[in-house]
Structure 1
C-alpha cells in the first residue's frame, strides 16, 4: 500500500477540463490540497465547484513566466508550501503542415513546451523546501512515438518535453526533486469527443484493451509518480495507452 498523500500541496496547470481536471480529481480524492490553473475563469470556477472543497483555482497562462511565478507563489500562500507540480497545460489545434502559420506554431510551443519549462522554473524553490518534491509532466504518445496528420506542431512540443525532463532530472536531483512524464494514448476528454463518434470508435478499435482511456487512468498514474514510493524514479516516461502503440497493424488485433 502506498503512503497516504493526504495533506500534500499540489498545483495542476490546465486543470479546468480534460486530463488536468482528471488529475486534480484523483489528488483531491486522496486528500491533497489542489490548486488548478487555466485561462478560462468560468471553466476553472465550475471545475473547482465540481471537484469539491479540496480544490481551489486561479487564472494563469503558462506561456507567461510571470503568471507561472504568480501561480506558484499563490499556491504556497494558500497552503504553506508546494509538494507536487503537475505540468499539464496544453493545446492541440488541428493544423496541417502545408497551412501551418508561424503564429500557430508559436502558440502550441509556447503553451505546451515553454509553459512546461516556465512552470517548473517557477516552482523549484518551493519544491526544494518540500520533503517530497515531485514534478509530473503530461506529454503524449503523439510525437515521441506516433504521429497523426494535422498535429505535427503538437507532436514536436510533446517530444520536446521529454528531452527537457531528462536533463532537468539531473539538475534537480541534488535538490531532492524528481521529474517524470506520462505519455497518454487516446484518453476520452471533451477535446476527443469533439472529433466525433466515428473517430472514437476507430480509435477504440486500435487499442488492445478495447477501450479509450479515462482521465482517471492518467490521474492515478500521476498520483503514483508523486508518491513517496516513487522517490527513486526520475527522468523517466510511462506510456498509459491500453497497449495502443503495440500492434503493427489492426491485423495483429484480429480486426481489419
Structure 2
C-alpha cells in the first residue's frame, strides 16, 4: 500500500473494541497508529497488522494527560506524516454501586473517558482544522444515554459527557472540513462485558429486545463509515447500536 494512504489513530486500540476498529480501518486501507497504555499489546497488534499490508505503528500513551496526547500527535506525524482519522476509544470501566463510588474512582474514570476524549479532540481537531480535513469518531455508550449503571455510574456519566463533547466539537470544526461523530454501543459480545456481568449475562441478554449481544465487528464497520471521506455530511451525530434497548 502507498505511503500516502490515510492515517488513523485509535486510542485504546490494542484490545477489545479498539482492536476490532484498528483491524477494520487497516483492512480498509488506512495506515494505523495503535495508541494504548499497554505497550506490549499495542506492539503485538501493530506487528500483526503491518505484516498484512499498510503500515501500523504502536504508541504508548495515557490519554488522561494532555501533554501525552500532544506527544502522541507529534510522534504519529513524525512517523507517518499526517493524521486524517481519530477514533477516541480509550476508556476505563469499573462496576461499583453508585452510592459507593469514591472521589478518586470518579476522577480516574472521568480522567480517561472524558478528559482523554476532550484533549484528543482539541489536539487532533486543531491540526485537522489547519489542513482542512479530518474525521473524529468518539466511542460513547448506551449507558451515557439511558443512565445504566451496570458498568458504573461514573462510567455512564463520563459517556454522557462524551456525547455532549461530540456535539460541541462538531459545531466548532464543521466549517473547517472536520466532522466529529459518536457511536453508541449497547452491550457487546466482548470479554469485558462477560467479565463485568458474570452470572448476570443471561439475564441481560434476555432483556435485550433483539435477544442477543452486539457485534464488535459491526461497531467497527460503523466507525469505518463515519471515518470515510464520503461521510462529509454527517457531523454531531450519534449512531446507536443497542439491540432496541434505547429507542429515539
Q: Under a length normalisation based on structure 2, what TM-score does the superposition of the two structures give?
A: 0.90
SS across alignment from 2:86: strand
Displacement, 1:154? 0.5
- Note the alpha carbon deviations across 1:90-140, whole angstroms, 9 max, x for none: 001112122211110000000000100111111124322556410000000
Q: Distance in 2 between matches of 1:210 and 1:52?
A: 37
Q: Alpha carbons of 1:70 and 1:153: their partners in 2 closer, same or farther (altered >3 Å)?
A: same
Q: Distance in 2 between matches of 1:130 and 1:241?
A: 35
* Cα RMSD, aligned residues only: 1.8
Unaligned segments of structure 2, at least 5 residues: none
Contact 2:34 2:58 in 1 (8 A): yes
Contact 2:147 2:157 in 1 (8 A): no
Displacement, 1:200? 3.0
Query: 2:37 maps to which residue?
Result: 39
Contact 2:95 2:196 in 1 (8 A): no
Q: Which moved more, 1:188-197 or 1:12-21?
A: 188-197
Q: Distance in 2 between matches of 1:90 and 1:188?
A: 17
Displacement, 1:204? 2.6
Displacement, 1:189? 1.9
Shift >4 Å, 4+ stretches: none
Contact 1:134 1:179 in 2 (8 A): yes
Contact 2:98 2:149 in 1 (8 A): no
Q: Distance in 2 between matches of 1:48 and 1:226?
A: 20
Unaligned segments of structure 1, at least 5 residues: 1-5, 247-256
Instruction: Give the aligned length.
Output: 241
1:13 to 2:15 alignment: no
Q: Please identify which structure carries the higher helix content.
A: 2
Q: Distance in 1 between matches of 2:193 and 2:150?
A: 15
